[in-house]
């Protein structure tokens, strides 16, 4: 994984077939017709808005099928190869046939994995597909017919918002998040077109829905955080996951967010926002920007504090293959558990490793503005 891969995140910048696609891992003999357990759905982004929509299904019935689409389970129980092998068993059974839509939406809204029977146009060939935003998945094949073999059970809070045709999608997402529904499930709901004003409901590509959920939840938190008092110290938070190492710096100033991503410490992907927020998509750091921001905003909201945030992400060779943006979110959450507090800017800098220190002093836009604005404030 080189620096261009960090910037590209599967968007085709090198104009070549992505080297992470079609990598074979665990061998499995798939069948054209099967009974299985479906824990999720997947909506493609090609030819939008005429996208393919499908079920992500195991080719067998499994009591633990929910764990095949559960980042919390991955983080706490599996290593990278185990995650890839587990996800490589999920077949993307997709179709552009709109008659399948209602049943596929039921699978997205279900509280647990759904038992199904599927008929495919071709027998899937073992492979794994990788993405920096969407979670790794196995082979794909066109769905010709399928049925649901059990009654679907939907969380009562989800059902209430599904049938509220006057409630905006962003409001539904924030309500459910505050009810304890995690962002992974929320992205499935949004992707299936389950929320929003009735006439405006649309299927959303999975890759877009993941980032949209992180962004919408984050914006709601930012509005609340701006009402909290600014911290009166400096904080360094450090954490990692699967070779992604995060150093997060909190400065005693009004909200702002800045992210640096690097592999070698010389080339950086970089995006930021000041107090007024961004007016466009964080193109360089993409979904990682919104996922990391959400995790840190959770920390600020929980502690009822406001701060200016600077994030340094180092991606090491330990990260063998991109697993999805959930890794960013969970690595940032891990960092929230390890805090160093200092009373001065100089002490903060002393406690940073040299690589992070150089980025903060020489490259950070928000740190430079923090220094100049603090200096000006001394004369007011």
pLDDT for res 11: 61
pTM to 2 decimal places: 0.90
pLDDT for res 50: 85
What's the Rg (C-alpha) of the chain? 22
Task: Kindly report, residue by residue over 50-82, the tens digit of the pLDDT.
Answer: 899 999 999 999 999 999 999 999 999 999 989
Q: Is residue 331 classed as helix, strand or coil in its secondary structure? A: helix
| DSSP sequence for 204-216 | --HHHHHHHHHHH
Q: What is the DSSP letter of 142?
A: E
Buried b (16+ CB within 10 A) or exposed e, 10-31: beeeeeeebebeeeebeeeebe
Instruction: State how far the Cα of 23 lies from the Cα of 128, in Å rounded to an integer.
Output: 5
Instruction: State how far the Cα of 100 lies from the Cα of 150, in Å rounded to an integer.
Output: 16
Low-confidence ranges of the chain (pLDDT < 70): 1-12, 17-27, 132, 374-380
CATH of 7-148, one of 2.40.50, 1.10.10, 1.10.238, 2.60.40: 2.40.50
Instruction: State how far the Cα of 149 lies from the Cα of 127, in Å rounded to an integer.
Output: 27
Instruction: State how far the Cα of 170 lies from the Cα of 173, in Å rounded to an integer.
Output: 5
pLDDT for res 12: 66
Instruction: State how far the Cα of 260 lies from the Cα of 272, in Å rounded to an integer.
Output: 9
pLDDT for res 23: 47
Task: Kindly report, residue by residue over 293-313, the tens digit of the pLDDT.
Answer: 999 999 999 999 999 999 999
In Å, how far from its chain's centre is CA 66? 18
pLDDT for res 156: 97
Closest by CA to 332, choosing from 206, 202, 273, 245, is 245
Q: Is residue 379 classed as helix, strand or coil in its secondary structure? A: coil
pLDDT for res 137: 84
pLDDT for res 25: 47
Give the domain ranges of the chain: 7-148, 156-222, 234-377
């Amino acid at each position: 994984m080189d620096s261009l891969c960090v910037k590209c995140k599967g968007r085709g910048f090198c104009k070549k077939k992505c080297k992470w696609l079609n990598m074979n891992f665990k061998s499995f003999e798939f069948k054209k017709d099967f009974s299985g357990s479906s824990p999720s759905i997947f909506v493609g982004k090609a030819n939008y808005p005429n996208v393919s929509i499908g079920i992500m299904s195991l080719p067998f019935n499994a009591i633990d099928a929910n764990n095949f689409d559960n980042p919390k389970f991955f983080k706490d129980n599996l290593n990278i190869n185990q995650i890839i092998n587990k996800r490589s068993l999920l077949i993307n059974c997709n179709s552009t046939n709109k008659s399948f839509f209602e049943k596929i939406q039921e699978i997205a809204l279900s509280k647990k994995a759904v038992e199904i029977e599927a008929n495919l146009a071709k027998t899937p060939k073992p492979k794994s597909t990788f993405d920096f935003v969407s979670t790794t998945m196995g082979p794909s094949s066109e769905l010709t017919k399928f049925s649901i073999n059990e009654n679907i059970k939907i969380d009562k809070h989800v059902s209430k918002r599904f049938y509220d045709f006057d409630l905006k999608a962003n409001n539904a997402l924030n309500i459910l998040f505050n009810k304890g529904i995690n962002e992974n499930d929320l992205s499935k709901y949004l992707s299936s077109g389950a929320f929003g004003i009735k006439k405006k409901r649309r299927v959303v590509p999975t890759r877009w829905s993941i980032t949209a959920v992180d962004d919408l939840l984050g914006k709601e938190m930012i509005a609340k955080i701006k009402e909290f008092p600014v911290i009166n110290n400096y904080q360094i938070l450090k954490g990692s996951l699967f070779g992604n190492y995060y150093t997060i710096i909190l400065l005693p100033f009004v909200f702002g967010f800045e992210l640096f991503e690097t592999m070698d410490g010389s080339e950086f992907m970089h995006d930021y926002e000041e107090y007024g927020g961004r007016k466009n998509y964080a193109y360089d750091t993409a979904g990682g920007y919104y996922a990391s921001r959400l995790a840190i905003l959770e920390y600020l909201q929980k502690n009822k504090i406001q701060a200016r945030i600077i994030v340094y992400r180092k991606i090491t060779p330990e990260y063998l293959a991109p697993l999805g943006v959930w890794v960013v979110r969970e690595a940032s959450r891990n960092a929230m558990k390890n805090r160093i507090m200092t009373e001065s800017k100089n002490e903060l800098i002393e406690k940073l490793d040299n690589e992070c220190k150089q980025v903060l002093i020489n490259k950070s836009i928000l740190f430079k503005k923090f220094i100049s604005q603090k200096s000006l404030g001394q004369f007011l």
